[in-house]
A and B are shown apart, each in its own frame.
Chain A
Amino acid sequence: MNCSRVRRSLPLLAGKDLPAGKARRVEKHLEKCPGCRQKIEEIRATLAGVRAIADRTSLDWPEADWRRLMARVKSESPKPRLRPLLLPGLARRSWAYAAATVLVLSTGILVLRIVRPRSTSAMLEETATSTPAQPGRALGREQALLAFSPLDRPFRVYADRKSPKQVMLAAGPVPGKPAQEMMSMTLVSQKTGLQVHWTWNRNFEWEEKKK
């Protein structure tokens, strides 16, 4: 753990409010970091000071005010228990209503899928035409550049007509082009600019794992 991460946990550790596992990790860091040790000592001293001051603070009602208040309370009467307006006991059975809603919705979706299989298949017939991403780290750059071409339409997504729910992804040979052997995907964080490259072969085995 680095100092900035540890320091975020120090206010909780100082009051013994950090879960045990994390507390052990932070304490291990404190053993070898004088800066963080000093910081936690400051927080502990603050908390001890606050508690010492607060311990002596105690207010009480003037007896006359208390009597007046109790007399006022006794002049009222407790209100009846609040009940749901539409159905009594609705709140107690809310989990059952939630489960029923989920069941109805999922049945509806299932029925729609069965009734309209052709439109779903048609949608899946579309061919993936994405431009190949930058080569992954696991590949040699030259090798990857040879494997990819912006004109390639390497992978095809289609649904089997006999079993429309099953989606197939095939690395089919494009006429006049060699079969696509590899595919890569790059994820770029918009916040930090961090890039993650994933590379697969035609059997969708992660290339990096093999190496």
Chain B
Amino acid sequence: MVELVLSGRTDAFEPLVTPYRKLLLTLAYRLSRNTEEAKEISQETLLRAFRYLRSFDRKRSFKNWLLQIEMNVWRSLATKAPDEATLRQMANNSAPEEPEGSLDQKEAREKLLSCLEELSPREREVFLLRDIEGRSVKEAAEILRLSGIAVRVHLSKAREKVRELIKDRFPELLENRG
């Protein structure tokens, strides 16, 4: 499929990336906690993937390559993030397709994501990839271009912080499930 796109069949790009459209948008949302920003991140990810498709190493996983681009896009946007209040306003006004689930589930999800905001960017990335997306440590290391040891160190800190934050702020999140 990659070869087809590179040979000039640009219409082959859509079937190439369609299996990952939800994954990219959801991960971007979990990173940014803002639907508009999530769309912006995913859009930039797909544009960059298309532009730099020739640089894709065929021995690597295409999905991991996309996730790596998305992490880079998020990091570059996060460093020049404008005004959070403006972004929230945009998110509220645009009424995008919300994640499925009841009000309780949405509330629980928002509480969880608010805890993740307390983590450092690296800890958040590692925690999302390993504990929410279910990637292995090795895959997370490949996506983030880190060593396995570095991933474990960030992961350990992130889990400990999340445990403390949930215990202090939203103990009901665990009680309901206990």
- A residues with a Cβ closer than 8 A to B are 8-9, 11-12, 14-15, 17, 42-43, 45-54, 56-62, 65-66, 69-70, 72-74, 76-82
Contacts and interface: CB of A to CB of B under 8 A. Distances in A.
Given A57-B26, A69-B46, A76-B47, A49 B155 contact: no
B122 interface: no
B99 A58 contact: yes
B159 A82 contact: no
Contacts of A52: 177
Contacts of A17: 130, 137, 152, 155
A74 B46 CA distance: 11
A59 B99 contact: yes
Contact of B155 (A11, A56, A57): A11
A78 to B, nearest CB: 5
Which 9 pairs across A and B sit closest by C-beta, in order of nearness?
A11-B159, A81-B54, A54-B132, A46-B163, A11-B156, A74-B10, A59-B26, A57-B99, A59-B25
B62 to A, nearest CB: 14
B168 to A, nearest CB: 12
Nearest to A9: B156
B35 A46 contact: no
Contacts of A51: 131-132
Given A12-B156, A78-B51, A79-B52, A53 B108 contact: yes
Given A12-B156, A42-B167, A43-B159, A60 B22 contact: yes
Contacts of B83: none
A46 B53 contact: no
A1 to B, nearest CB: 16
Nearest to B167: A42
B162 interface: yes
A59 B132 contact: no
B58 to A, nearest CB: 12
B50 A50 contact: no
Contacts of B156: 8-9, 11-12
A70 B14 contact: yes
Contact of B54 (A50, A74, A76, A79): A79
A78 B50 contact: yes
A124 to B, nearest CB: 41
B90 interface: no
A25 to B, nearest CB: 16
B130 to A, nearest CB: 7
Given A51-B131, A59-B29, A78-B53, A43 B163 contact: yes
Contact of B51 (A15, A53, A76): A76
B84 interface: no
Contact of A49 (B14, B21, B50, B177): B177
